[in-house]
Amino acid sequence: MSQFFKWDIIYTSKFPESIQCGGCKNFFMPCKSSCECGYENNISNIVDKIRPILLWIDKNNWRDSMAFAILLSASRILENDYNEPIYLSDYKFKHKNNIYNRPMRAMIHQSTRIDGNILKKDKIIGKLTNLVKMRKIEDKLFNWMFGDKR
């Protein structure tokens, strides 16, 4: 398995990994089947395709800490409490395919926990290098998770 670090940009084939059912509270895979209990869950903004994510890891090693996948989107570059624009000058790409080199926004409000089972299958395509953007995204992530309780 490749070594993954905080602020790596990777493509993942499943996002999010699973969704908690509103009825029985069990987790199910939204791209493969509905919940076994039959409860009708309303799901929006889930795309069953390869998506770029920004990896946020609390400590040096993902196995020893909480890790989040922050969805990246090339549509509607905007900034607010839950979105942060990231421009080409904020990235360092590790590939030669220019199709992926474009401005994107970090969608903090669609972040999800991520683990090694997803990371094993994915390819690192770049790294966020702008320290100001890193701090803004981290602040927005903490505010989204904990509100003003920090």
Sorting pLDDT into bands at 50, 70 and 90, what band is 132? very high
The verdict on residue 78 lying in a domain is yes
- Partners of 50 in the β-ladder: none
Residue 64 or 66, more confident: 66
Q: What percent of the chain has pLDDT over 70?
A: 68
Mean pLDDT of the chain: 77
The verdict on residue 30 lying in a domain is no
Q: Count up the domains in the chain and report the number.
A: 1
For residue 144, the SS3 value is helix
Residue 69 or 148, more confident: 69
For residue 48, the SS3 value is coil
The verdict on residue 56 lying in a domain is yes
CATH of the domain at 99: 2.30.30.110
pLDDT at 150 over 50: no
The verdict on residue 59 lying in a domain is yes
Contact at 8 Å (CB) between 52 and 10?
A: yes
The verdict on residue 42 lying in a domain is no
Q: How far apart are CA 63 and CA 53, in angstroms?
A: 18
pLDDT digits (tens, 9 = 90+) for 9-36: 887 765 555 666 778 877 666 655 566 7
pLDDT digits (tens, 9 = 90+) for 115-129: 665 565 557 888 999
The verdict on residue 28 lying in a domain is no
Q: Which domain holds residue 83?
A: 8-18+50-149
**Type and span of the H or E element at 145:** helix 131-146
- In the block, tokens 């890193």 appear at 134
The verdict on residue 102 lying in a domain is yes
The verdict on residue 95 lying in a domain is yes
